[in-house]
Homo-oligomer: A and B are copies of this chain.
């Protein structure tokens, strides 16, 4: 290997940070509101002001994906919104399966926001015999025993895991075996999945713990230090 020439490995695959993608979601919603309010263009300054960000941040985030604005004028509201939808991949429908139809699962079935965003729950699974066969918003609950086969047969692309913590890793493993590459997990455990599988976890307890921490010591660590050491 020639080490005296600079390797021309200018990585053609720039990696986008998680924060940038989260903010893209924020811009998307902000643009929807701006559109509803009748705006045709918006500056990075105004967008930033509305979402409590900095103008530079907005411009930098967008610049990763191209040049969408007009100098001196700003960004075209509805056009940019469409472009972001395309970037996020929400300009299409996604086939989703819900696994576990307990408290949280039931709430998710009824949650209209998902549907509105193009995420359609096509299958529901549970292991409770009393639930299997019952109807949830027009979807028959399937036996979780048939998970792998049904996931494959029904072209599911995303699974939502809403089973108890102790069962979650097993369910995740089975989804992986069925070829699922994207999962949203509501069980309060850190699931382990292969690198090529995208997993997001909504851990409400962790959020509450963060609130609790912030409340106890307002961001500073002094009190914590003292308390923890004298304890």
Contacts and interface: CB of A to CB of B under 8 A. Distances in A.
Interface stretch (A37-45, A113-121, A139-147): A113-121
Interface string A77-107: 0000011001111100010000000011011
Closest A-B pairs by Cβ, 5 of them: A13-B220, A89-B216, A107-B107, A89-B212, A198-B214
Q: Report the copy number of this chain in the oligomer.
A: 2
Contact of A182 (B18, B107, B183, B215): B215
A51 interface: yes
A29 interface: yes
A231 B107 contact: no
A190 B29 contact: yes
A212 B64 contact: no
17 contacts: A14-B221, A21-B210, A24-B209, A25-B203, A26-B190, A29-B188, A65-B228, A87-B224, A87-B227, A89-B209, A113-B188, A114-B205, A117-B205, A117-B209, A158-B211, A184-B207, A184-B211
Contact of A209 (B88, B188, B208): B88
A214 B114 contact: no
A174 interface: no
Given A207-B200, A219-B15, A221-B14, A213 B29 contact: no
A18 B209 CA distance: 11
A15 to B, nearest CB: 6
Contacts of A119: 208
